[in-house]
Structure 1
Amino acid sequence: MRTRFVACAALVSSIALAGVAAAAGPAPPLLQGEPGIAVAGGMHVVALAGTSTATTRLWLVRDRDGKTVRARVIRGKLGVPAVTFTGLAEGTSAQGRRLLLASSIYDDADHTTFVVVDTRTLLPLRTIRLRGAFAFDALSPSGRRLYLLEYPQGLNGGIHYVVRSLNMRTGRLEQGAIVDRTEPDERMNGIAVARAWGPSRTWAYTLYTGGESHAFVHALNTRTRTARCIDLPWAGNAQAILDNAQMAVKADSLTVREPGGGVLARIDTRTFAVET
């Protein structure tokens, strides 16, 4: 049976969140410690809080033998951005030669900081400071545009968020929110549980559960600054089936699978039609 879903998750009045999401809040926590995040040259970068509350320790570690190649302490309480509550980390650009570190909304919901680091030297190249609560969402393929989840009410707004974009050249937010133009008035509410990228890393697909509402996939075109929201037929407690779900893109199909490999849903990435 084929059914087309296009609306985003509706506003929920109260949220019943499972596992780590219940403990952490609306945005995934920053990644601290191993396994870090893969960067250029067969290396990975590990971040940990510094001995001072206003510093971060970075290590550049060689994958093949675990040897620390370089270490550095930088200013700011930062970490590697996670895009799901399963700990999936992102934030690299320039073929892994740049890494974007972020502050956490749980440390400061009034101000957000992003720092671009050279992954060979671990030296900070640029710092961007924003007023308000923001979390990393995605980088465009060129690394020139940063996509963010803005929480307009900080930690008091539940899982309601707004998708924004930032010009990395100017360090400034671009005007307006990024919405599904077929449902421009829908409020975005959800907890991210899985992420997959399309060919050429143009489309970022994020699977969200919506508490007492229903699950959906947010499809973000990182080149054109456009998005679509694809509703899934699981609502309320039935969304627990998606807690450990995985996604993959092949040709023109996005699959949502159970950890054991069983297909839960298949989405046509051209029409956004859903088959369950």
Structure 2
Amino acid sequence: MMAETRTSRRTVMAVLAGAGAAALTGCDPLRSRRPAPADTVPDALLVELDGGLGVLRGGDRLTIPHSVATADGRAVYATAPEGADTVCWRIDTATGHASARVTLPGHWLPQAVSTDGTRVALTSNAESATSGRPAGRDTTPVLIADVTGVRHRFELRGNFVPEAFTGDLAGLFVLEWLPARAPDRYRVRVLDLATRTPGPLNTRTKTPVPPGAEEEMRGDGRQAVLAPDRTTLYTLYTHQPGHQHTRDLVSGRPGNAHAFVHTLNLVDRWAYCVDLPHPFGEAAASGHALAISPDGRLLHVVDVTSGTVAEISTEELVVRRTATLAPGTTGTGHAAADRSRLFVGAGTTVRTVDIDRLDAGAAWSVREPVTGLVASPDGTRLHVGQTDAVSWHDPATGELLGRTTVPGLVRVRGLAGRV
């Protein structure tokens, strides 16, 4: 039974952030046909701040340094140093409840959380599956914990970065970087928590990958999204010169993918890559973005540099359609989807795409460059992250509905947990 301490949301801000959560005040109203609520975000949002993860809920602001969230934003694990040890606890973002703090021997940082929020994988270095190449090393310490304390501790021979837990919590998917001391490529493996041994994944037919046929990747892990049913993790990779998928290595066919979506089944432990056509992967990785439909049936990949969008069926794992929506744009790309529309942000422009027709709809400008897009659960608002601010708009017309200042905002990641 998880021990929890019930506190008010205001109190928990001070408790969780150590020095206290920053109360970010002030409203920066823009002209609108509707009044903007003063400093009140209509949907709870999970954001990245320059001081760590953050939760915006109404007028409250919560900053959580040294933390990692579940993919759906319902729970966050946080750590803080305490002498030679580390204290760790879990925050329920829907209620503000915090679990009792547990002490972990040594210094640890959280890296990956199970989809149900009950387990966290920690390492001694700040790394993630999409944060780039780790420093060289011969061994990797990994700790698995929950709200009661340490569950497993490993000293893995090699250079590993935790990515996700298996659905049954019996395994941990990791990126193994090669060679360990001077890494320039990586492969996805699964660490069996019982045998304490990392090994290959399965193929899509649920058979073990043959020796010598494990994919080794050299590209950039740009973005990952979890299917709504929590069974599949989709990761967008770009810049893969000379890369060969497992299916190519098994068949002997040549491969040279510049971008693809790595599909990782968390239940059956298989992986499959959906290649993206030209021009995906030719331009900067930062210009690419990935969004999944609320029902999980469709993935959309956008490349804002070329103005191209690709539609992937998650059932068939094939690219069904592509379209060119607008002239090329420089800058970081962002994407989000509701039931009928895809939203694409780059620079100071937000564009809508009709999903049925896969063609461009309305476009509107915002004050500063976009740093994230999040659709509300009911589809009536689109939240747009910007420089030190979040605004929310009518998704059909772009009409400004409200805006609030958020000093230190790096990116709007998604919705936080809902009661």
Per the normalisation by structure 2, the TM-score is: 0.46
Query: Is the aligned partner of 1:130 residue 2:156?
Result: yes
Once the two structures are superposed, what CA deviation does each residue of 1:143-174 show, in whole Å capped at 9, x if it has no partner?
Answer: 1121111012136232x101111112222223
| Counterpart check, 1:171 vs 2:192 | no
CA contact (8 A) 1:214 1:239 kept: no
Deviation at 1:258, TM superposition (A): 7.6
Q: Give how far 1:62 is off.
A: 5.8
Q: Which residue of 2 aligns with 1:255?
A: 300
User: Percent identity of the aligned residues?
Assistant: 26
Distance in 1, Cα, partners of 2:102 & 2:215: 44
CA shift for structure 1 position 131:
0.8
Instruction: Find the partner of 2:140 among 112, 116, 120.
Output: 112
Once the 2 structures are TM-superposed, how far is the Cα of residue 226 of structure 1 from its aligned partner?
Answer: 2.1
Once the two structures are TM-superposed, the CA of residue 38 in structure 1 deviates from its matched residue by: 5.4
Q: Kindly indicate whether residue 281 of structure 2 is the aligned counterpart of residue 235 of structure 1.
A: yes
The aligned amino acid for 1:71 is R
1:62–1:34: structure 2 CA closer, same or farther, 3 Å change rule?
A: farther
Q: Residues 63, 219 of structure 1: CA spacing in aligned structure 2 closer, same or farther, 3 A cutoff?
A: closer
SS of residue matched to 1:237: coil
Matched ranges for 1:83-98 at <5 A: 90-92=112-114, 95-98=116-119
Name the CA shift for 1:185/1:141 in 2 (closer, same or farther; >3 Å). closer
Partner of 2:76: 44
Instruction: Sort the Cα spacing of 1:263 and 1:253 in 2 relative to 1 into closer, same or farther, 3 A.
Output: farther
The aligned amino acid for 1:92 is S
Change (3 A) 1:108 1:184: closer
- Which residue, 261, 279, 282 being the options, matches 1:217? 261
Q: In 1, distance between residues paired with 2:135 and 2:217?
A: 23
Matches of 2:160 and 2:235, distance apart in 1: 17
How many Å separate the matches in 1 of 2:239 and 2:119? 33
Q: Per-residue CA shift, 1:86-116, capped at 9, x if unaligned?
A: xxxx3226x3233222333757722112222
C-alpha distance after superposition, 1:70-92 (max 9, x if no partner) = 334422332111xxxxxxxx322
* Among 183, 186, 190, the residue aligned to 1:161: 186
Out of 43, 57, 75, the position equivalent to 2:105 is: 75
The two structures have a TM-score, normalised by structure 1, of 0.66
What code does the residue aligned with 1:217 have?
A: V
Matches within 5 A, 1:178-217: 184=213, 187-210=216-239, 214-217=258-261
Indicate conservation of the 8 Å contact 2:163/2:175, yes or no: yes
Task: Kindly provide the amino acid, as one letter, of the partner of residue 113 in structure 1.
Answer: P
- 2:128 paired with 1:99: no
Deviation by residue 1:152-207 (Cα, 9 ceiling, x = unmatched) = 2136232x101111112222223x466787x9475322222211223532221101
The question of whether the paired residues in 2 share the 8 Å contact of 1:163 and 1:178 is answered with no
Give the Å deviation of 1:239: 3.8
Letter aligned with residue 253 of structure 1: L
Residue 142 of structure 1: CA displacement? Answer: 1.2
> Could you list the runs of 5+ residues in structure 2 that have no partner in the other structure?
1-51, 54-63, 128-133, 242-256, 323-419
Aligned residues, how many?
225
How far, CA to CA, are the matches of 1:150 and 1:179 in structure 2? Answer: 18
Q: C-alpha deviations, 1:24-56, integer Å up to 9, x for none? A: xxxxxx9882654359xx76321234544xx33
* Secondary structure of the structure 2 residue equivalent to 1:169: coil
User: Looking at both structures, which has the greater relative contact order when contacts are Cα pairs under 8 Å and sequence separation is at least 6?
Assistant: 1
Is 1:145 the counterpart of 2:171? The answer is yes
Residue 140 of structure 1, CA deviation? 1.4
Q: 1: CA distance between counterparts of 2:230 and 2:94?
A: 27
Counterpart-to-counterpart distance in 2, 1:162 and 1:254: 23
Aligned structure 1 segments of 4 or more residues deviating by more than 6 angstroms: none
